[in-house]
Amino acid sequence: MIQLNQQYNKEVELMISSLNNQTAVGVNDQAQLKELCTALTKTPHLSKIQIYFAEKIIDDQGISDLSIALSSLPNVSYLLLELFNNNIGKLGAQRLADYLKNQKQLEILQLNLSAINHQEAYELGSVLAQLKNLESLNLNLKDNLIEAQGAQSLFSELQACQNIQNLTLQLQGTQIGIEGLQSLFNFISKCNLLSKLDLNVCHQIKDECASALGITLEQCQNLSKIILNLDYCQISDEGIKSISQSLLRCPQLSELSLSIIENIFGIEGARQLYTNLALCDKLSILNLNLGRNYPSQGDLDGEIVEFDCLTEIIANAKQIVQFNIQANQYFY
């Protein structure tokens, strides 16, 4: 028993050392979770915490214990919790919510959550709305069935966070629909201080939403960096034209990463995209992935059009000093 306690104390000391050095902590089993909770109570000065849980490690009791331990830290301004694919039920979610809503000092928050439905999305939004000092928010909700109702509730609540400058949202597989997308765009447009946006809405955007997305980007006049994943949507030439024209109206845009794999625009949409991007005055870094795009109409057996001429449009834009373009060689 003495040997066991010595080993436990040694592991706790190692955990404390990692926390003090602001090192990301990985938790792979229940024993490490217990060690982490003990270590947290012994390091009340911490301001930055990054915790990654392996899948199916933490349950309601575990998240309750973690929340109690985290509550002993009054100065946390940066919190990252990787909780994807764990066994957190309603009780655990409530304990986590109770902890978060009291962390008024939080400035940077990153959450990776799973098994969130529309009601829990509303509750999450209600909690985050109380964190008025948030400057950076990263929510990974991929494959959570929050649907339109949950998205509307979540993004309506998030409008209370007026100081967000850095926003990352992973929403692939959430099935939020047109109504959910409208709420999302409305929330983003209200982020007046937003300078960086990382948005993954693959499988979600169709042509009727492409123009709304573009208008949203235009309204964020401080945006300097945009990472946008529109893979596997149904965006045609018209939709690409609308989005690219809006990017041209983002006056501070200096870095753009745009992935639009397997959509339905053709060579004309690509040409319009390249042309508008080349006209962005401050754009200096461009990453573009247009792989496997085929127009939904027209003669699919017609002439094969090479990409070389389009790449030259970007290459000739003197302000773009770094670019990486991945694309199928041809549009058919």
Q: How confident is the model at residue 299, as a pLDDT?
A: 40
Residue 190: count other Cβ atoms within 10 Å of its Cβ. Answer: 18
Taking only the tens of pLDDT, the chain with its 332 residues reads: 233 456 777 888 888 888 888 888 999 999 999 999 999 999 999 999 999 999 999 999 999 999 999 999 999 999 999 999 988 888 988 999 999 999 999 999 999 998 888 889 999 999 999 999 999 999 999 999 899 999 999 999 999 999 999 999 999 999 999 999 999 999 999 999 999 999 999 988 988 899 999 999 999 999 999 999 999 999 999 999 999 999 999 999 999 999 999 999 888 898 999 999 999 999 999 999 988 776 655 444 433 445 667 788 998 999 999 999 887 644 54
pLDDT value of position 301 = 41
User: Token pair of 248, please?
Assistant: 């041209």
Residue pair 30/57 in contact (Cβ under 8 Å)? The answer is: yes
The pair of structure tokens assigned to 92 is: 């655990």
Q: How far apart are CA 12 and CA 14, in angstroms?
A: 5
Domain ranges for the chain, please list them: 2-331
Supply the pTM of this predicted model: 0.93
Per-residue confidence (pLDDT) for residue 212, from 0 to 100: 96
Q: Name the phi and psi angles at 313, rounded to 5.
A: -60, -45
Cα atoms in the 13 Å half-sphere on the side-chain side of 158: 28
Q: What is the fold of 2-331?
A: 3.80.10
Considering only CA atoms, which of 206, 166, 209, 165 is closest in space to residue 184? Answer: 209
Question: Exposed/middle/buried for 6, CB within 10 Å: 0-12, 13-18, 19+?
Answer: exposed
CA quadruple 293, 299, 300, 305: dihedral sign: negative
What letter would DSSP give residue 54?
P
